[in-house]
Structures are given as structure tokens and as C-alpha cells.
């Protein structure tokens, strides 16, 4: 075998191939999902002011933080200057976040 055949092969990673500088100024929509439920149309039409809709999550359970409906983190609801916020408790690493979006 020649030296060229024995030389280590450089394996490029996803991060090497992707120029993150190009992506950094693209706007995205970040959303938080408290829970989900399924309703029949007749039940949806019965909803009115004061109706309570029960979701599939327990109180105190982490909520999902999503980009384009893909979960990239989990967290807990907090109040910051009279607005809701999320304290992140779990976050996908940067490479997995980019792959998902």
C-alpha cells in the first residue's frame, strides 16, 4: 500500500460543513407548549368564556420550548417584569438544535 492509502482520512462533521455565520441572522419563531388535548368538533363549538380545557401534562411538569414545532428545550414557567418567561432546565446541544431546525 502507498503512503496515500495509509494516511488518515479527515472526516468532516455536520458543523464543519455548515457555515453558521450565514444562519445566525435568520429570524425564527420560538414557542412554548404547555400541553395538548384532543377535542371533537362539537366540544370545540361548545367552548365559551370560562370553559376549562384540560391538557395532557401535569401541573409542575416541564413545558416544551419549540422552534418550528420541534422541541429544542424544556423548562419551567417564570414571571419576569409582569411577563411570562421560561427558565430552561434542559437544552439540546447546539449541533442537535441546528439539525432539528
Tens-level pLDDT at each residue, the chain (101 residues)? 455 555 555 555 555 556 667 777 888 889 999 999 999 999 999 999 999 999 999 988 999 999 888 899 999 999 999 999 999 999 988 776 667 66
Q: Number of structural domains, the chain?
A: 1
Please, what sign has the CA dihedral across residues 19, 21, 27, 30? positive
CATH number of the domain at 67, please: 2.30.330.10
**Strand ranges (E), the chain:** 30-33, 63-67, 70-80, 83-91
Domain span holding position 9:
3-47+55-100
- pLDDT on residue 85: 94
Amino acid at each position: 500500500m502507498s503512503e496515500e492509502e495509509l494516511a488518515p482520512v479527515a472526516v468532516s462533521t455536520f458543523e464543519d460543513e455548515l457555515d453558521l455565520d450565514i444562519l445566525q441572522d435568520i429570524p425564527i419563531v420560538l414557542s412554548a407548549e404547555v400541553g395538548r388535548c384532543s377535542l371533537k368538533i362539537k366540544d370545540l363549538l361548545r367552548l365559551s368564556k370560562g370553559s376549562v380545557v384540560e391538557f395532557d401534562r401535569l401541573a409542575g411538569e416541564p413545558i416544551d420550548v419549540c422552534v418550528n414545532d420541534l422541541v429544542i428545550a424544556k423548562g419551567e414557567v417564570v414571571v419576569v417584569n409582569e411577563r411570562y418567561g421560561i427558565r430552561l432546565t434542559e437544552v439540546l446541544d447546539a449541533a442537535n438544535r441546528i439539525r432539528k431546525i
